[in-house]
Each structure stands twice: as structure tokens, then as C-alpha cells.
Homo-oligomer: A and B are copies of this chain.
Amino acid sequence: MVTLAEVAKCAGVSSSTVSYVISGKRSISEATRRRVEQAISDLGYHPNAGARALAGKRSHIIALVVPLRTDVYVPIMMEIAIAVTVAARQYGYDVLLITNDEGPEGVRRVAASGLADGVILMDVELDDDRIPVLRTQGTHAALIGLPDDTSGLACVDHDFAAAGAMCADHLADLGHRDVAFIGYSPVVYQRHAGYAERTLTGFQDRAAERGLRILHRPCEGTYDSTAGAFARILADRPETTGFVVQNEGAIGPLLSLLRTTGRIVPEDASVVALCPESLAEQYSPRLTAVTGPAEELGRVAVDLVMRRIEDGTPAEVTLLTPVLTTRESTGPAPRTR
């Protein structure tokens, strides 16, 4: 293994000079800098991570805590995880993957051991048991998702309320009067997952303003469950012409059901999905959808932790505005039924 000292000898300088060339923390004459850099690449030197962490009091690692349970759409979690990793590299940081099966203890472990300089929590619940650990340990952290009490915490999340409202607006603008909202399974709402509630509330509030008549139906995301929800919607409010779906698993079934019951999309019924673009593009017809910027979520989370690590900037809550993309699944409400 090549060490700083060997590079120094090779370049004919002291090891501190090599260290400073690498860190850039003091000015170096052009000549020696070049000799040092030459030596570094000649010998194939890579600074030892352990030694650096020990001496520098900074591991240059952040921990990303991912949930085991996965009712949130998995590809999005992955996209966020990758965005976090890529963004962290920009800061010279690496990302340690922590699963929640260790519970809050995992967070304590990586923070207390100095393994990680900071922590990013994914899929944060309203009353998340990892948060007390952060507070007592004074761990640098950023949360993806909004807990009950955000005081002193750096958080970033989609603006789900805005997303819900955008769906209501879009359908109202198109002249729909009766709209159904097909949501997540009841357990998601019971767990008070913030995103589900906030979307629904945003939708309901805006729907009320716009004078829409709405129906909310939870759904498991399977075909059978979707069929059940669909049947009850038609039974309760046959004049429904607009559908908002927030359950990825329910999209395919819903489109099938509309087709099977002789409803053409978008002539007879309009469908707005709350889902990633990649999904929206995959169906036929391609779906008008409200999408939150997953990649940005990860990037912002990294920015937040890094700021806390590097200069202890005070915490803040950031909500990212979703985007409604009009595709082929929505159109003007049918004139008559």
C-alpha cells in the first residue's frame, strides 16, 4: 500500500506538503505541486480512508437509512438512493446504506462510531422513532418526508398538497364535475403516512373550492381491490367522469376496467395519475400525471446534510413543487351521459 510518506520521498518533499497539495489548504508553488502530483499518479497513491477519518475527524461518509417495508413505489426509492449517492460524490462523500431492520439503533451506531458524518432518513413517518435518536445524539441529518414536529430538523419532501390540488384543478378546468380519488390502502392512511393524507387533503380542499363532487376510495393496488373500488364508485356516483389515482398498482387495473365497461379514455372518462413519468408513459393511452421530482429530492437532501456538516446551517423545511404533465388520458368532460 502506498502511503503519504512514500509519495513525499518520491517527490522529494515532506509528507505535510503532500497532504496540503491534496487538501489544497495552503498555497503550494507550482513546481512542487507538479512534482507531487506526478509522484501521486506514478505510485498510484490513494489516501487511506481510515487514517483520514481518524486524523481529520470526518469520515466523508453519510448514511442513508432506507425502509424495509416498501409500500412506497420502489423504483422511486431507488432513484432517490442513486441521486443521493451521486450528489454526495460531488461533495467527496460516499453513502452508507442502512436498513431499518436495526431500528433506531442503526442510526445511533453509525453516528456514534463516527462511521458517518451525517444521516439521511428516507420515508419518514409522522411520528418516527429514529428522530429522538437524532435529537439526543445531535446528529447531522436531513429527512426525506415530513414528521409531525419538524423543529430543528432539516426536511425535504414533495408538496403533496399542491399535487392533490393540481389534480382537482386540472379536472375542474376540463369541466368535470364528479371525480373519484383512488388512493392507497387503508393501512397507509391508518399509519398516518403524511404523503397520503396531505395529497388527499390538498385534493379535497381544492375540489371544494372548485365545486367538484368527489368520492375517495382506498385501494390495495391489486386488480381485485381496484375492481371493488371501481364498482363502488359507479354504484355510488354513476355520473363520475374524472379519476385521480395515487396507487401505482391500481393504474393498470383501472384502465382495464374502464375499457371493459365500454368507457373510452379520454372521451368518456379522464384519468390523472399521481406517479412517476416512467410509469405514466408506459400505459396506453399515456397518462396525464402529476409527478414529484425524485432525483431532486435526493439532491436536496444531500445539500441539506452537507450544509449542516460543513457549517451547521440552521434547519429548514423544503417542499418541492410537483409538475403536471398533460398527456392523452384527460380531456374535456363529456357533454352528456
Contacts and interface: CB of A to CB of B under 8 A. Distances in A.
Interface in A64-113: 64, 66, 68, 70, 74-75, 77-78, 81-82, 85-86, 89, 94-99, 101-102, 108-110, 112-113
Given A48-B54, A48-B114, A70-B78, 17 more contacts: A1-B114, A46-B112, A46-B113, A47-B113, A49-B113, A50-B50, A66-B82, A75-B75, A85-B97, A86-B101, A89-B99, A89-B102, A95-B97, A222-B281, A222-B282, A222-B284, A249-B282
Give the copy number: 2
A288 interface: no
Contacts of A82: 66, 68, 99
Interface string A194-236: 0000000000000000000000000001111001000000000
Interface residues of A, number: 56
A227 B227 CA distance: 23
Contacts of A70: 75, 78
A96 B99 contact: no
User: Which of A44, A70, A223 has the most CB atoms of chain B within a 10 A radius of its CB?
Assistant: A223
Contact of A282 (B78, B81, B221): B221
8 contacts: A44-B112, A48-B114, A64-B97, A68-B82, A74-B78, A89-B101, A94-B110, A96-B97
B94 A223 contact: no
Interface string A110-123: 10111100000000
Interface stretch (A171-179, A252-260, A264-272): A252-260
Interface of A: 1, 44, 46-54, 59, 61, 64, 66, 68, 70, 74-75, 77-78, 81-82, 85-86, 89, 94-99, 101-102, 108-110, 112-115, 221-224, 227, 249, 252-253, 256, 259-260, 281-284
Contacts of A260: 259
A303 to B, nearest CB: 18
B78 A284 contact: no
Instruction: Identify which of A44, A51, A64 gathers the most chain B CB atoms within 10 Å of its CB.
Output: A51
Contacts of A109: 46
Contacts of A49: 50, 53, 59, 113-115
A85 B61 CA distance: 16
A51 B59 CA distance: 11
A283 B223 contact: yes
A281 B227 CA distance: 15
Contacts of A78: 70, 74, 77-78
A43 B46 CA distance: 36
A52 B284 CA distance: 56
A112 to B, nearest CB: 4
A194 B29 CA distance: 52
A310 to B, nearest CB: 18
Contact of A96 (B50, B61, B114, B282): B61
Contacts of A86: 99, 101
Contact of A51 (B54, B224, B227): B54
